Amino acid sequence: MKVIVYLMHNSSEQLDLWSQYLPSDTIELVNISPDKDIVRLLEQTPKNNLPRLILVEMSIQSPNNKLLQSSNVCRWCKDNQSSIKVILLTSRQESEVTKVEQRWADRQGALCILAKLDRHNLHSQFRQIYGYLNLELPVIEIVTPASVPILANVNQPVLDKTKSLIKKKDFVAAMNHLKEVIQSNRENAEAYLLCGEIYTELKNLEKAVQAYSQALTIDPTYVNSYYKRGLTYNSLKNYHAAIADFNQLLNLDSNHAKAHNARGLARKVIGDVEGAKFDYNQAIALEPNYAEAYLNRGLLHYSVGEQLKARQDYDEAVKLDSRYEGSYFSWANNSEIKGLSVF
């Protein structure tokens, strides 16, 4: 009888590789769509048909709440079916998987994180998987794809037009242009990035994450997509995933002031005051006129009782950008003067 393995991934390229090579005489691979809830599926499955292993891409959101599918399934297996093993997948290269992510996976109860699957690491990753299942690794013959000539980017004028339409908030026309680009070239990372921007504007943040993730699957060094996905995770209150994205971005570009500012926001929320302060300091050091970073650092100072430093940062923020005059931070100070406390 074959061992059942569930696979959930949001990259068609990765799905193709897993589906082509993992199934064998001893493994039956079942692909689960990212819009399904793995936990609900497990609860509805007879005990004798449950999988022995679940492979799940760690950035996929649950359709029923703001948590990650990976987090939900790890918790469910730990509480209900400890015999089911869970391995987390990422679309990043092995060198890009951070220690923070590894520790997070350990805390969830996952066996490990496996990097983006390719024909170079396929044998080593499958050896791990078969080992966890106590199965013998079969002979795997890897087919080398025929080389494809590199074509000029004939879609750039369409992408430029799309950006203009997004600025005008004509999202229907913009998305139609992007569909045209993707149909002609499914490896155009910028097209998926722009899809993510449209979904963000439409407040469909889960689909925005999927679009940014697809862009990163195509180009794992795409700094702007890490930044946009990190901001989206912040909006979804998935702060650990946001921090992981900003970490990856800053590994690629340590001078990205906006990423430091955004990571500072996430770090503050999870209680990492020193980490947030470091990020705001870095953002300001890189861009001395960064008003928002001054305001955020001021709010951080205020929250830990450093009122004088908070006032100085707030004054600097207002000096650089008058829009912050009369902001919530100013109101908070006035409330404290009146004997009230808003923190």
- Closest listed residue to residue 74, CA positions, set 44, 89, 54, 90: 54
Task: Report, as an integer, the average pLDDT of 308-330.
Answer: 82
pLDDT recorded at residue 307: 87
pLDDT recorded at residue 3: 95
Joined together, the tokens standing for residue 113 give 């994180």
Q: Are 60 and 70 in contact (CB under 8 A)?
A: yes
Is pLDDT larger for residue 166 or for residue 144?
166
pLDDT recorded at residue 95: 75
Joined together, the tokens standing for residue 36 give 């399904």
pLDDT recorded at residue 146: 53
Task: Report, as an integer, the average pLDDT of 226-247.
Answer: 95
Rg (CA), the chain: 23
- Closest listed residue to residue 179, CA positions, set 160, 192, 165: 192
**CA dihedral sign of residues 290, 294, 299, 300:** positive
Does the structure show a pLDDT above 70 at 255? yes
Q: Are 101 and 245 in contact (CB under 8 A)?
A: no
- Give the three-class secondary structure for 51: coil
Domains by residue range for the chain, with CATH: 3-132 (3.40.50.2300), 254-343 (1.25.40.10)
Does the structure show a pLDDT above 60 at 212? yes
Least confident piece of the model among 34-38, 148-152, 203-207, 210-214 = 148-152
Confidence tier at 221 by pLDDT (50, 70, 90)? confident
Q: Are 92 and 115 in contact (CB under 8 A)?
A: yes
Across the chain, mean pLDDT equals 88
pLDDT recorded at residue 145: 58
Does the structure show a pLDDT above 60 at 153? no
Confidence tier at 59 by pLDDT (50, 70, 90)? confident
pTM over 0.75: no
Least confident piece of the model among 177-186, 193-202, 208-217, 254-263 = 177-186
pLDDT recorded at residue 148: 41
Q: Are 38 and 22 in contact (CB under 8 A)?
A: no
pLDDT recorded at residue 98: 75
Task: Report, as an integer, the average pLDDT of 122-134.
Answer: 94
Q: Are 262 and 242 in contact (CB under 8 A)?
A: yes
Does the structure show a pLDDT above 80 at 338? no
pLDDT recorded at residue 151: 40
Q: How far is CA 179 from CA 150, 176, 201, 205, 226, in A?
A: 21, 5, 17, 19, 22
Least confident piece of the model among 98-112, 143-157, 239-253 = 143-157
pLDDT recorded at residue 147: 45
Task: Report, as an integer, the average pLDDT of 187-204.
Answer: 94
Task: Report, as an integer, the average pLDDT of 114-133.
Answer: 92
DSSP 340: -
Termini Cα distance of the chain:
60
pLDDT recorded at residue 331: 44
Joined together, the tokens standing for residue 135 give 């199965």
User: What is the residue whose two structure tokens read 């994180």?
Assistant: 113
Does the structure show a pLDDT above 50 at 68? yes
Does the structure show a pLDDT above 90 at 42? yes
Task: Report, as an integer, the average pLDDT of 50-66.
Answer: 88
Does the structure show a pLDDT above 60 at 178? yes
DSSP 94: G
